[in-house]
């Protein structure tokens, strides 16, 4: 992995409330992806559709972060 790349998390997630799956929050082939690292304790996220941005806060480091969707290549 080169500098600046964010790795995909290889693992399994468990859905504890079936509504999460049946309400369309997750599709059958969803995967976990690490969007950022370096936060001591992250809170959020908030998705802003008009800006196509995901915003979260890192409380102990007193900072807000935002990311935009990367285009598939």
Nearest by Cα to 39 from 59, 10, 15, 66: 59
Residue corresponding to tokens 């598939």: 72
Tens of each residue's pLDDT in the chain, 73 residues:
455 555 555 666 677 888 877 777 776 666 677 777 888 888 888 989 998 888 999 999 899 988 876 654 4
Question: Does the pTM of the predicted model rise above 0.75?
Answer: no
């Amino acid at each position: 992995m080169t500098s600046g790349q964010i790795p995909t998390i290889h693992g399994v997630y468990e859905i504890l409330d079936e509504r999460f799956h049946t309400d369309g929050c997750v599709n059958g082939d969803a995967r976990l992806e690490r969007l950022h690292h370096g936060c001591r304790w992250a809170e959020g996220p908030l998705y802003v559709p008009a800006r196509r941005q995901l915003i979260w806060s890192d409380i102990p480091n007193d900072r807000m972060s935002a990311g935009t969707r990367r285009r598939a290549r």
